[in-house]
Amino acid sequence: MYLQKKVLAFPLLIIMFLTSCGTTGVVTETVVVTITRRPAAATSTIVTNTATADTSATPSVISVTPSVPSPSPSPTIPTTSELPTTQEPTHTPLPQNTVVLTSHREGQTVPCEDVIKGTHTLNNGERIWVVVRIGGRYYPQAPGGEYTTVQNDTWFSRVRFGDCGNPEVDKGKTFELLVVSANERANTEFENYISRELNDNHYGGLSRIPQEGVTIHKLLKVLRE
């Protein structure tokens, strides 16, 4: 009886060893149970929990199939008929009886003597003339009696801007450059002027160009260097 009281006077510490056996080995589990004193006589119960592993269970096998990406479609090669074609640049033909200046542009700086060039579609018998205007006077150009030269659909003319014997006189001045075509009557007036000036060795210019029979195809301003 004395021994029983002694035992109940202190918390009772019971250590249980639980052993479970599995398919892969033995697992030992230690459980600590503490029983405290109650007012009434305490009855301790030891519960042994033995878990038996199911050794007959067959492990599940998960089959994983790797995902293979679909191949990219092969590029479509266009046929010859589908290939873009390169168009040749088209040139708009000039209207008939047209004269074009190709060598000079507006505001260009020019030397005292220069060569003027261009193209034409004249087929009416008219002649091409280059006329220089300064100080209100018109100077048809045919230096030394050399008129405009025509070769097939191109033309060129030697031109003087001012007094090339004394080039400093007209340096920095602005000249007007006219490209004209003249019919037979107007052409005669220009030729008479050139003959007269050559004989007199004096180029005083004209107060005007012929009012009839002259077509002005280009007029621009240039600067004497």
pLDDT digits (tens, 9 = 90+) for 68-94: 566 666 666 666 556 566 666 565 777
Q: Same domain, yes or no, for 137 and 211? A: yes
Task: Give the pLDDT of residue 96.
Answer: 87
Domain region containing 184: 99-224
Residue 81 lies in a domain: no
Segment 132-146 mean pLDDT:
94
Residue type, 52: T
Q: Residue 110 pLDDT more than 90?
A: yes
In total, how many domains does the chain have?
Answer: 2
Q: What is the DSSP string of 3-63?
A: HHHHHHTS-EEEEEEEEEE-SS-EEEEEEEEEE---SSPP------------TTPPPP---
The reply to whether 105 falls in a domain is yes
Residue 219's pLDDT band (cuts 50, 70, 90): very high
Judge if 30 and 117 occupy the same domain: no
Specify the pLDDT at position 101. 98
178 and 119 both lie in a single domain: yes
Residue 166 lies in a domain: yes
User: 203: pLDDT confidence band, cut at 50, 70 and 90?
Assistant: confident
Residue 181's CATH number:
2.60.40
pLDDT of residue 223: 98
Using the predicted structure, report yes or no on whether residue 154 has a pLDDT greater than 60: yes
Q: Quick one: tokens of 46?
A: 């030891």
Averaged confidence pLDDT in the chain: 76
pLDDT tens sequence across 6-59: 444 444 444 444 444 444 444 444 444 444 455 444 444 444 444 444 445 555
Q: Do both 167 and 105 map to the same domain?
A: yes
* Judgement on whether residues 220 and 110 belong to the same structural domain of the protein: yes
Residues 127 and 200 in one domain: yes
Is residue 37 located within the same domain as residue 114?
no
pLDDT for the residue numbered 72 = 64
Query: What's the CA gap between 133 and 177, in Å, rounded?
Result: 7
Residue 85 lies in a domain: no
Measure the CA–CA gap between 115 and 60, rounded to whole angstroms.
101
- Do strands 12-21 and 26-35 pair parallel, antiparallel, or not at all (unpaired)? antiparallel
* 19 and 110 fall within a common domain: no
31 within domain boundaries: yes
Q: Is residue 19 part of a domain?
A: yes
In sequence order, the β-bridge partners of residue 219 are 178
Is residue 186 assigned to a domain?
yes
| Residue at 134 is within a domain | yes
